[in-house]
Structure 1
Amino acid sequence: MANYVIGDIQGCYAELMSLLNSFSFNPTVDKAYLVGDLVNRGPNSLEVLRWVYANRESVRMVLGNHDLHFLAVGYGLVRQKKGDTLSALLAAPDCNCLLNWLRIQPLVRQVGQYIIVHAGLLPLWTIGQALTFSSEVGFVLAGEGYCEFLSKLYGNQPAKWKPDLMGVDRLRLIVNICTRMRMVDSNCQLDLGFKGELSDAPANLYAWFDIPNNRNDGSVLVFGHWSALGLLQRDDIIALDTGCVWGGALTAIRLEDKQVFQVPSSLAPQFEGLGAHLN
């Protein structure tokens, strides 16, 4: 039995199948964990989501920003935007089944010493707190008020965490931290505008994982979301978004021995530069 974590797929079904074949994934004994953003921008979101759902006993995921955007579009709360590639998924006869399954997926998962999240965890949070906050959002998404919550999900405020935040402001910030965060200032306030390479970051901003004295309890955080960061392996973090949807590669890592597997993207360059939503 082996445990694999796979980076942002974003509708790249052919690459996902090639990647799984490259390490002879066996769903009867192996487990695969997906860092979120299964859908959108790429060409085959329906096929990706159907495969994950069919193999849900051995394939687990966390929610990414594009998965949440699909939920909002799929439940009729917002319209598709320029650059979305969700039409086939929305027209599928099993769309409601996939929507209802997707919205009960968590923001954060723990696999032994590894913590899997789409974008990152606030350095101020312990792992226990992060799992609790993920459960708070999960409770709302699984409950009767999920449409109201999804309709109020979009936005960048509040940007600074306070334990006494309440209501939709608290939940929106938890979601933004887990699915959109890249940079923070020295007070751990989110800056959601910067998406480039670390070498180009403004002097007053820091990658969330480089804030000193974080409270991540010695765990290894595995995440995606930041294609400009690419593959990055350190003792405390593993970044897996290698920009398959932009013509890069789809990447997985086997947790037992840290072996990396990659397949190149087959997508044409015109996919690059499409606008993000809840980015």
Structure 2
Amino acid sequence: MSTYVIGDIQGCRDALLRLLERCRFDPAADRLICAGDLVARGPDSLGTLRFVHGLGTAATAVLGNHDLHLLALAQGFGRARDGLDTVVAADDAETLLEWLSTRPLALHHAATDTLIVHAGVAPQWTVAQTLALAGEAQAVFADRERRRAFLPRMYGDAPARWRDDLTGDDRLRCIVNVLTRARYCSAQGDFEFAEKGSPGAQAGDLMPWFEVPERRSAGTRIVFGHWSTLGRIHWPQANVWGLDTGCVWGGALSALRLEDLHLLEVPCAG
């Protein structure tokens, strides 16, 4: 059995099918983990969601920021964009969105000691704490009433730094922002969500979240997506793999086989 983690698909269903064919993916034996942002911007968000959902127990995903925006849109919050209104209007929308809302925000693949998130991990968090905090947020999104109450308050950049004594919406917003939006932060763990460029172009004392000295999750391999401008996939010193290779922007769609770290990719255009 092989386990494949695939970077941001963002509605590029055809590229996903070609990549799985290249992987010789067998849903009867293999497992697929999508690193968030199944939907938005690409040509077929609805088809992508239907396909991954249709794989049943052979596939899952961690939630990304665009996935969360889709959930908010379905509840009447936010602006319809990037073809997401097609998903909300579909006959099977309730089934697909209920499945999406119950996806985790972080996964640990025990056999290879790999943590999968969409965007990042706060430098103060251990792997165990990351999974526990992700579980707090997942419980909210999986509950219809709690999800509806939180989604309009989900947006915003504050608080920028994690504290263990955070409560309520501030606590949930900080967890969600780190796991689904993080790129840069200071050495003290203050996140700056406006910076989106390649490392080396950032302002001030900011650094990629995975380069913060004494990051408490450093002993575990982390695989993430979200950062299409990262410039490379593997950062050996930090023990991280960034799999968003910009398929929706004309780049490639990438998959990492966790058992042997074999990387496979296909160009966006087939």
Structure 1-normalised TM-score?
Answer: 0.92
Once the two structures are TM-superposed, the CA of residue 30 in structure 1 deviates from its matched residue by 0.2
Q: 1:158 to 1:102 in 2, by over 3 A?
A: same
Once the two structures are TM-superposed, the CA of residue 77 in structure 1 deviates from its matched residue by 2.0
Once the two structures are TM-superposed, the CA of residue 230 in structure 1 deviates from its matched residue by 4.1
Give the secondary structure class of the aligned counterpart of 1:253.
Answer: strand
**Mind listing any 5+ residue stretches in structure 2 that lack a counterpart?**
none
Aligned counterpart, 1:95: 93
1:86 pairs, out of 72, 84, 87, with: 84
Range that drifts further, 184-193 or 196-205: 196-205
1:256 aligns with 2:259: yes
Once the two structures are TM-superposed, the CA of residue 256 in structure 1 deviates from its matched residue by 1.4
> For this pair of structures, how many residues does the alignment match?
265
Give the secondary structure class of the aligned counterpart of 1:198.
Answer: coil
- 8 Å CA contact 1:36–1:117 kept in 2: the answer is yes
Task: Give, in whole Å, the separation in 2 of the partners of 1:157 and 1:193.
Answer: 12
1:1-279 equivalence runs, <5 A: 1-81=1-81, 84-112=82-110, 113-143=113-143, 144-216=145-217, 218-235=219-236, 236-266=239-269
Once the two structures are TM-superposed, the CA of residue 260 in structure 1 deviates from its matched residue by 0.8
Once the two structures are TM-superposed, the CA of residue 258 in structure 1 deviates from its matched residue by 1.1
Once the two structures are TM-superposed, the CA of residue 87 in structure 1 deviates from its matched residue by 2.6
Task: Give, in whole Å, the separation in 1 of the partners of 2:175 and 2:33.
Answer: 21
Cα RMSD for the two superposed structures: 1.2
Once the two structures are TM-superposed, the CA of residue 79 in structure 1 deviates from its matched residue by 2.6
Identity %: 45
**Which of the pair is proportionally richer in helix?**
2
Once the two structures are TM-superposed, the CA of residue 217 in structure 1 deviates from its matched residue by 5.4
Task: Give, in whole Å, the separation in 1 of the partners of 2:84 and 2:229.
Answer: 24
Aligned counterpart, 1:275: none
- 8 Å CA contact 1:8–1:241 kept in 2: the answer is yes
Q: 1:158 to 1:129 in 2, by over 3 A?
A: same
**Mind listing any 5+ residue stretches in structure 1 that lack a counterpart?**
268-279
Give the secondary structure class of the aligned counterpart of 1:145.
Answer: helix
Task: Give, in whole Å, the separation in 2 of the partners of 1:56 and 1:210.
Answer: 36
Give the partner amino acid of 2:39.
Answer: V
Task: Give, in whole Å, the separation in 2 of the partners of 1:126 and 1:199.
Answer: 26
Once the two structures are TM-superposed, the CA of residue 220 in structure 1 deviates from its matched residue by 0.3
Please identify runs of 4+ aligned residues in structure 1 that moved more than 4 A. Answer: none
Task: Give, in whole Å, the separation in 2 of the partners of 1:102 and 1:230.
Answer: 29
Give the partner amino acid of 1:263.
Answer: V
Structure 2-normalised TM-score?
Answer: 0.95
Once the two structures are TM-superposed, the CA of residue 142 in structure 1 deviates from its matched residue by 1.7
Task: Give, in whole Å, the separation in 1 of the partners of 2:225 and 2:142.
Answer: 24
